[in-house]
Amino acid sequence: MTANTARPPAPLAAADLRIAVGRHRRERLIRGLFLGAAAMSVVISIAIVFSLVGNALYFLINVDKGALLADGWFPRRGLYDIATILAGTLIISGVAMIVATPLGLGAGIYLSEYAGPRTRRFLKPSLEILASIPSVVLGFFALTWISPNIVQPLTGAPLSNMAAAGLAVGILITPLIASISEDAMHAVPAYLREASYGLGARKRTTSLEVVFPAAISGVVAALLLGFSRAIGETMIVSIAAGGTGGSLFELSPFEPGQTMTAAMTALAIGSDSVRGAELTFESLFFVGMLLFLITLGLNLISDAFVRRVRRQY
């Protein structure tokens, strides 16, 4: 026994329990820093809206209204036909959805319902690698491989055409649709499958008529997000769709066409704007605002669908 342990413990005072003031101050400071970082996202959103709206309004007020319903999109001649770029955007993203819906959903169902753990471990990273290919690379591929080897032999289209760009955009959004729809089907509780098997249903009946309908909200969300990505896709259409230098109103996918995004790059790199020409700079922001509103709308609807899935199970 030492003398230390024999001494009675000092009485505990209220001051001992109170947090050190310096420590407390540091806590508040750090919390403030983190809050500031989180608030940055709101600042960015506001900055996006302001930078778009100001210039877009300037464009709308000053543009000759007839130029918005002209014979085509030719900023150099002051013709800003919105229908042309909307039609091009819809055709290319439509082709993309025709490709990506069966491929993406098929891949999603296979990964969620059929693939064993070992095939999954190999297939999922492969899809992630496909998803990581930059769109500028897919654009080059669309122009130099898809168009001459697939689209041109079948249709005799010119080298730059909307179908080739649409096919490449479809490949681009396939991994996205596959992974979101797989998540949705994966989230369907196992007891639904067991109940289905218990009634004597086969694997295909269970997958297509029990799991798929149960996950339908997530599947719709996946398709909407894919569509939104396709609409906002820029580099593939800029390289492969052939809209540089303006475009006439065009509905055939086997012709060159102009999308909102390709129109923007053409304006920005100067191939569609004469230096100092009035309104070309502002028209860039007008198209950007249109694009922003369309994709935001699609994303919000898809978000609502995702939340419905989460509430269900």
Give the footprint of another protein on residues 282-311 (CB under 8 A).
Answer: 284-285, 288, 291-292, 295-296, 299-300, 303
Nearer CB in complex with another protein: 217/261: 261
Which of 235, 236, 227, 234 lies closest to 295, judged by CA? 227
Residues in Cβ contact with 242 at an 8 Å cutoff, skipping those fewer than 6 apart: 158, 159, 160, 161, 162, 256, 257
Q: Which is nearer to another protein, 238 or 258 (CB)?
A: 238
92 to 121, contacts with another protein by CB under 8 A? 102-107, 109-111, 114
- At 197, list the tokens: 């098997």
Of 149-208, binders to another protein (CB under 8 A) are 171, 174-175, 178, 200, 202-204, 207-208
69/304 with CB nearer another protein: 304
- Closest distance between another protein and the C-beta of residue 106, in Å? 3
Taking CB under 8 A as the criterion, the residue among 75, 139, 243, 246 binding another protein is 139
**Residue of 187, 289, 165 lying closest to 236 (CA atoms):** 165
| Choices 70-78, 212-220, 223-231, 247-255 (CB under 8 A): range interacting with another protein | 223-231
- How many other CB atoms are there within 10 angstroms of residue 154's CB atom? 10
Q: Find the binder of another protein among 64, 66, 69, 137 (CB under 8 A).
A: 137
Determine the Cα–Cα distance for residues 62 and 267; give it in Å rounded to an integer: 18
Site string (53-92) toward another protein, x via CB under 8 A: -xx-------------------------------------
DSSP string, 135-195: HHHHHHHIIIIIIIIIIHHHH---SS-HHHHHHHHHHHHHHHHHHHHHHHHHTS-HHHHHH
Query: 202: how many CB neighbours lie within 10 A of its CB?
Result: 11
Distance from C-alpha of 228 to C-alpha of 224, rounded to nearest angstrom: 6
Q: Please select the residue that binds another protein; options are 92, 95, 138, 279, rule is CB under 8 A.
A: 138
In the beta sheet, which residues pair with residue 247? Answer: 73
Which of 63, 82, 83, 123 binds another protein (CB under 8 A)? It is: 123
Pick the stretch among 44-52, 57-65, 74-82, 187-195 that binds another protein (CB under 8 A). 44-52
Nearest approach, Cβ of residue 69 and another protein (Å): 24
State the Cα–Cα distance between residues 106 and 206, nearest whole angstrom. Answer: 15
Report the nearest approach of another protein to the CB of residue 6 (Å).
28
Closer Cβ to another protein, 8 or 276, answer by number: 276
Residue 42 burial by Cβ neighbours in a 10 Å radius (0-12, 13-18, 19+): exposed
Residue 74 dihedral angles phi and psi, to the nearest 5°: -135, 80
Beta sheet of 72-74, edge-to-edge order: 79-80, 72-74, 247-248
Q: Which stretch binds another protein (CB under 8 A): 43-51, 60-68, 74-82, 214-222?
A: 43-51
Residue 124 Cβ, how far from another protein at the closest point, in Å? Answer: 9
Interface stretch with another protein, choices 28-36, 59-67, 87-95, 211-219 (CB under 8 A): 28-36
